[in-house]
Structures are given as C-alpha cells and as structure tokens.
Amino acid sequence: MLYKVIVIDLDVINRKGDFMTDHLQMLKYIQSDVLSFWVSSQEEQVSFCEYVYSLKQCLKKHLNIVNATFLRYEDGMLISLEDLAAVTIDKKFDVVSWATIEAKFQQQKIVKIPHFIQEIKTYSIMTDMVLFEEKDKEPIGVLLIEKTAEWQDFMSTPHGETCMETITKVFSMIHEQMKVKQSENQYRKLYNMTDIFHSTMDIDLILENVLKNIQENFPHFNVELILSNDQDRHTTMDIKLFDYLAERPATIEAFVSGEVTTELARDLECRILNAPIKGRQAIYGILQISAPMTYLFSVEEKDFLQMLAHASGNALENAKLYHQSHRLVSDLQLINETSHRLNMRIDIDEMLLFLQKQLMKSFQPMEVCFAFKEKDIFDIKDASTALFNSQEGKIYIRHIEKHFEHTNDPLFIADFSRLTPNPIEYRSIMAIPILMEEKINGFSIVLHKEPYFFSFDSFKLMQSLIHHSSLAIANSILRNQLQEMVDLDHLTKLYARGYLDRYVEKSLVNDQAGMFLLIDVDNFKQINDTYGHQIGDKILVQIATQLKNIIGNSGICARWGGEEMSVYVPNINAQEAMQLAIRIVETIPKTTNPQVTISAGMIVWDVEYRPAFQAVFNLADKALYEAKTSGKNRVCVHERLYQTNA
C-alpha cells in the first residue's frame, strides 16, 4: 500500500493568513472612510471636488498614493480638477478626449495609463488609471495615480476589486446627489425668476433679472444680452443690438436655429456660449456668455442656460405682446385722429404741418421732410425741417428719389453709413411714398442720427399713417386742381370772373383803398378776321402774360370775358394807380405780335369814397366806353380823360 506524504509548513500558512487579514482590514478601513464621507455629504453641502479631495487623502493614508489626479467627465471630455484649494469656477485644466481612452478599459476598471496621456507634463509620472461609472455605464471620470507597492499589493487581491466597487458606488451616488442638488438650485432660481416674470410686464425688469441671474451663477464670466430689436430699452445692464453683418457665425447660427451653440474664439481668447432667447412665436435675441478658453460648459450648465433663456424668451414675448396690444390701440387712435383732422377740408400746407407734428410725436425723429412731384421734379414743402433745404439734406433726397425711380416700395434703412462711402450725420432713415392712382406723387422722410433708432413696428406704423394721409392729401390736391379750374381762365391762366368778384367784394370791406382797371383789346374782331382765331387767342395770352408781369403780387389779373380783361390792386392811391394804368396801356403794343393796342377804364376808391360792389364795375365800364369812343389806346378814369403818348 502506498501513502501520500503531505508536509505542512505552518509558518507559511500563518504568514498567508496574516496577509489576507491585513488586506481585509485595509478594505474595511478604506470602506469606512469612503462611507463616512458619504454620510457627512448627506448632512452638509459637499461639492464633488471635496469628495475627490477626501478620496485622494484616503488613498494616501492607506495605500501611500501621493500623486493622484481625478479627470471628471464633461460633455465628451475628461477635465482635471486640481486640489480643492486651487479650484475656482474659471479654471479647468488639461482637457483629454474621452473617445481616445474609452476603448482602453473594455471589461477592466483599472488599466495602465496610455503613453499619450503620460506625454502631458502634468501626468508624466502617472502609471495607472481607474474608471468610475454610474449605474447606466455613463462615465463619471477617471482617477490617474502613480502606483505604489502598497497599491499593487492590495489591488492584486479580491479585496482591491471590492474596494473599487465600493468607491465607484459611492462616487455614483454622490455624483447623482450633486446633480439633483444642482438641478434643485437651478429650478429654484428658475422658479423665483419665472415668478418675477409672471408678476410684471416691464421688459426692462425682465431683462435685468435675466442678466442678474446669469451673473450670480457665473460671476467670473462676461455676460451679454444681444437683442434683435429693442433699441428703446433703458436698462442698467449691458445690452446690445443683434447685427447680422457683425455677429460671429456661431451667434447667428444660434439665432437662426434656436439651439445652443458654443465656439472656441481664439481671436478673442475665450470660449463663447450662445443661448437663444426663444418664445413661442419668435427668437428675440441671444444670451451670450464668454468664459476662458480652457473652460468647457457642462451638459447641466448648458441645460440650465437654455431653460433660463427659454423662460426669459416666453416672458419677454408676453410683455411684448402686452405692450404691442396697447401700442396697436394707440396706433389706431393716432391714425383715426390724423385721418379725421386731414379730412376736415383744410389746405395742403395745413395738412402737412399737422402731419409733421404727428410724425414728431410718434417717432421722435430729428428731421422730417415732405416732397411732392411738380413737373417731374420733387419740390420740398414748407412743412419740412430746415435740413432738407441745405446741401447736406440733398444727399438723403437724392438717395430716396433714386430709390423711388424704380419702385413704389417704402424704404427702411437702419444704418445709412453702410450704404455710402461719404461721411453722413443721419444714419436711421424711413421714407414712405405718397401715392395717387398707384403712382408716386411725393414722399415723406424721417431721419435720426443714431443707427437702428427706428423699430420695424415704427416703420409699419408710419406706412399706415402716410397711407391713410395720402387719400386726404390726394383729395386736397384734387380739390385745389378743381378750384383752379373754376378760378382760372383756361386760355389765359388769368383768374376767372367769379374769383375776381369775390376778391373785389372782400377788398371793399377789408382794405383802405383800391383800383379797378377794365381793359378791352382795340379792333380785336379785325385781328380775328385777318389772322384767324388761333392768332387772336395767342394775342390774348401775350396780353395776359404782360399783365401778370406788371402787376406781380400787388394785385390780381382776371379775364372779364371775350377780349376784355381786368386788373384789381388793393391799397393803392390815385396817383400810383394812374401811373400803373398808363404803363399797362403803353406796354401792350410793344409786347404783342401782331401788334395791338388796348383801351382801359379805371375807378379808384379810398376811405372817403367807397363805392358799392356793383358800382365799381359799372363805373369802370363807363370809363372804358369813354376811352373807346374818344380814340382808343388810352385810359379813362370815371369821366376824366387821360391820353397816353402812344
């Protein structure tokens, strides 16, 4: 029979038992420290960095790990957190792409550090790296260490694996707890801010609270609100206008797409995050945050900023709609008031002066202009401000005239300096055509020195205001044209008999003196028989032209009927009247072709002799008859005869 001899070395067994006992004891110590910190984290507001710091102290204490760095996973990147004392919100160091090391772990949680990480000066002495994951396998981060004999010894046992599992679980719970607390804080701030939003329709207050909230969360970053169209806001915060031509591509992309964008702006030495301020109907601007180049915005930070921007967008939209409804009521009142006033049969000059006041009150321009087309040339009306009668004003007039040569569309220029190489003073322009029968009869202009001064709402209101005014202006112009047809003789363009009657009747009541001269062309029938009626009409026009030249603005000239014409001059004495009448009788033969002479009968009145209205014409007619029967080519006054040298 064979016997198997087994030799037992009791010293070896004892040493191995002690070895296992030491590792188990070390596991308990490490688990105790980790769990102790977990318990304290439930009672106090402990940050993730503080837990990493405690973990590193624990590893140093039990495994003699002196050099260790934790890389936290944030949005596809691994970012180093320095010791607690050195960590500030604006410092995140040594970025490593998660994609470059993800495959290194595979099924293992502890692997050798790859060479490309060791090439980073900060990590050159590190040897191993440990992966920490959440339950759903989402990475929390990677711990880089410089291994020690104690570390190698401990990690070679099952207790080491158990220890890493415990630390990973606690890491995951603390990480989740931190996210929950962060979300609670963010939602609390959002709730408080939303509560303010719902309690006010003050756009300034909304914008100021948005900036205040961002600056409280990111005190070391630069924060700006870039609004699409809010130039009339007067906040204490830094707000600027969105300019498609000047903004960065990432900012424009956020504004157009409505999604958060980030950009590494090397030219500005910063990293920029753009969160669109988005309501239900439109995007109103961009919330822009500039951080150091080394900073990466976490997913949680982006979500918070997006929610904040969205909440502010809805609040801003509600406030804008509220103000818009009030503005629409005000606009309708303005249009109604203007239309009512302009349809009161006032003349065109009064209309334009009233319209100028309405434009000044509604849009606060620095300059206003009204121009109307007369014989294919735009004439500047008196209701325009002084600028448009100067050489400087012609720059704007020429540009707008050129625009309306090709289109009836109104003109809205936010910054005129971008369209001309010449230095200009007024940069904001609105120009609206005044249409008659779908053709441009004139236009209205408002100017301001500040770029982007007029809003698009103002532009639409001015369009509506001028459109409604155009009808009243056109009616006034047509009334004037119709009145001219009634008041003016079609052939000679002298005043008609009816206008003369009204003028003389008023003068007899209001003036201190006057003269009435009744004129008849001598032998006019013979002219018509000899040369024809067309030449006869031509002579009448020649005489009418001379009468208007001689009288000017001192009185009026009228066609009495047939070949008879008349002149009435108020506030003139007898001697001046006689000189004027003689001048007329002497001038006509010299300025007509074929040459004709005229006879004239005149009556002069003053405060001592004020004849009745009909007596003026009867006495002048008698004097004319006397001039005709006494030789023609002369002027007679009442019953006295004055013969010229002709």
User: Which tens digit of pLDDT belongs to each residue from 417-469?
Assistant: 988 888 899 999 999 998 877 788 889 999 999 998 998 888 988 888 888 77
pLDDT per residue as tens digits for the range 562-615: 899 999 999 999 999 999 999 999 999 999 999 999 999 999 998 888 888 888
Beta-strand pair 239-241/93-97: unpaired
421 cis-preceded (ω within 30 degrees of 0)? no
Is the pLDDT at 2 greater than 70? The verdict is no
Q: How many angstroms separate the CA atoms of 163 and 171, rounded?
A: 12
pLDDT value, residue 423? 87
> Architecture of 497-642 per CATH?
2-Layer Sandwich (3.30)
- Domain 200-322 and domain 497-642, same fold? Reply is no
Q: For 18-22, 122-126, 208-212, 340-344, which range has the lowest pLDDT when averaged over its residues?
A: 18-22
The most confident of 12-16, 98-102, 260-264, 456-460, by mean pLDDT: 260-264
Least confident of 405-414, 468-477, 519-528, 593-602: 468-477
pLDDT at 190: 65
User: What pLDDT is stored for residue 16 in this prediction?
Assistant: 44
- For residue 448, what pLDDT is reported? 94
Residues 289, 223 contacting (CB under 8 angstroms): yes
Pick the CATH number of 200-322 from 3.40.50.800, 3.40.630.10, 3.30.450.40, 3.40.190.10: 3.30.450.40
Smallest Cα–Cα separation from 58: which of 143, 124, 173? Answer: 143
Rounded Cα distance between 212 and 218, Å, is 10
Distance CA 554, CA 507 (A): 13
Q: How confident is the model at residue 13 (pLDDT cuts 50, 70, 90)?
A: very low
Torsion angle of alpha carbons 579, 581, 584, 586, nearest 10°?
-70
Q: Using CA atoms, how far apart are residues 282 and 458, in angstroms rounded to an integer?
A: 19
Per-residue model confidence (pLDDT) at position 6: 41
Q: What crossing angle do the helices spanning 299-342 and 158-198 adopt, rounded to 10°?
A: 10
Strands 514-521 and 377-380: unpaired
What's the CA gap between 171 and 181, in Å, rounded? 15
Can you give the pLDDT at residue 564?
94
Q: What is the pLDDT of residue 3?
A: 41
For 584, residues 6+ apart whose C-beta sits below 8 A from its C-beta are: 517, 519, 546, 547, 550, 567, 598, 600, 635
Q: First vs last Cα of the chain: how many Å apart?
A: 181
Confidence class for position 330, pLDDT limits 50, 70, 90: low
Phi, psi of 410 (to 5 degrees): -65, 165
Distance separating alpha carbons of residues 259 and 257, to the nearest angstrom: 5
Question: What's the pLDDT at 10?
Answer: 40
Over pLDDT 90: what percentage of the chain?
27
pLDDT tens-place string over residues 180-234? 776 666 666 666 666 666 666 666 777 777 777 777 777 788 888 888 765 444 4
Q: Residue ranges of the alpha helices (H) in 248-385?
A: 249-257, 299-342, 348-363
Give the pLDDT of residue 545: 94
Model confidence band, residue 629 (pLDDT cutoffs 50, 70, 90):
very high
Which tokens belong to 510?
């209001």
3-state percent breakdown (helix, strand, coil) of the chain, nearest 5 = 50, 20, 30
Greater pLDDT, 225 or 494: 494
- Section 497-513 average pLDDT: 91
User: Which pLDDT does position 43 carry in this prediction?
Assistant: 62
What's the chain's Rg over C-alpha atoms? Answer: 48
pLDDT score for 322:
66
Helices (H), 98-157: 102-105, 115-118, 149-155
pLDDT value for 9: 45
Least confident of 321-325, 408-412, 618-622: 321-325
CB-based burial of residue 600 (10 Å sphere; 0-12 exposed, 13-18 middle, 19+ buried)? buried
Fold exhibited by the domain 343-487: Beta-Lactamase (3.30.450)
Fold entry, domain 10-86+99-175 = Beta-Lactamase (3.30.450)
Return the domain boundaries, the chain.
10-86+99-175, 200-322, 343-487, 497-642
Higher pLDDT, 614 or 307: 614
Average pLDDT value for the chain: 81
Asked whether the predicted pLDDT for residue 555 surpasses 90, the reply is yes
